[in-house]
Structure 1
């Protein structure tokens, strides 16, 4: 679309810069109107990802659990379910926040030609004194908890992890 706009602008400049009288400007303006109409009626190109979604299959996944920080429920944590993609940006499947008691359920579906690779990413402040950064821990959801369709058939139960734990190579700060 940007290329078309640049071409349109160049056409208009050339049209009026080469005109020597009013009749030429009116004639050239008519040609410019035709170019504008041609550009305006062009359909946007179909993106590759749109083609993939058209032939991909729906795959659902769900995770539940309870997050603790020592002996207390984690509060104000965000839980996100992602499809971890190798060659393009990861796709957010669903997002939720923990309840007052630290429990959560997050589920959704993604459309993909290949099997989705779901990850659970938890953003929390347990064992962190930072006001601008949250700890981010990533869990890989086993493949056998992914099913065809849009509804979850088999939930992955994360259990009750103590978020005080440090997870080497799977934890990183997430700052605002």
Structure 2
């Protein structure tokens, strides 16, 4: 029992906090997209992914989102943008995923302009 407690304490102490900030302006058909849901998540291997933060794009289609998590190694963050670009069926939406590159962990990932007209691999549709 003492060994188990000691192992847990060591593993908690070994975890480090990593941060990320992501910014971007979302476009569809060359128009800025206000009011879109943007979610920052962190990929986990054995448990459900962690939701770090959530926001919406402003009137100019711009968003800024940040979060932090403590992991054994580096965090593996990604951004979901929920939108209606390229949707033909009313009431449906697309969930586009954008991975954050490892070199910008503990810094800022400036996505610049995000063109939703370009499909991402692994997009999902919700109706």
Tell me the TM-score range normalised by the shorter chain: 0.7 to 0.9
Could you tell me how far apart the structure 2 residues matched to 1:174 and 1:136 are?
8
Residues 63 and 156 in structure 1, CA contact (< 8 A), matched pair in contact too = yes
Q: Tell me by how many angstroms 1:128 deviates.
A: 1.5
2:55 is matched with: 96
Structure number with the higher strand fraction is 2
Aligned partner (choices 106, 113, 120) of residue 160 of structure 1: 113
Residues 52 and 112 in structure 1, CA contact (< 8 A), matched pair in contact too = no
List structure 1 runs of 4+ shifted beyond 3 angstroms.
Answer: 49-55, 129-132
TM-score by length of 2: 0.83
TM-score by length of 1: 0.62
> Relative to structure 1, is the Cα distance of residues 52 and 162 closer, same or farther in structure 2, using a 3 angstrom cutoff?
same
Q: Which structure 2 segments of 5+ residues have no match?
A: none
Could you tell me how far apart the structure 2 residues matched to 1:50 and 1:106 are?
31
1:10 is matched with: none
Pairs aligned (count): 121
2:80 is matched with: 121
Residues 34 and 62 in structure 2, CA contact (< 8 A), matched pair in contact too = no
Residues 77 and 100 in structure 2, CA contact (< 8 A), matched pair in contact too = yes
1:86 is matched with: 45
Bigger RCO of structures 1 and 2 (CA < 8 A, at least 6 apart):
2
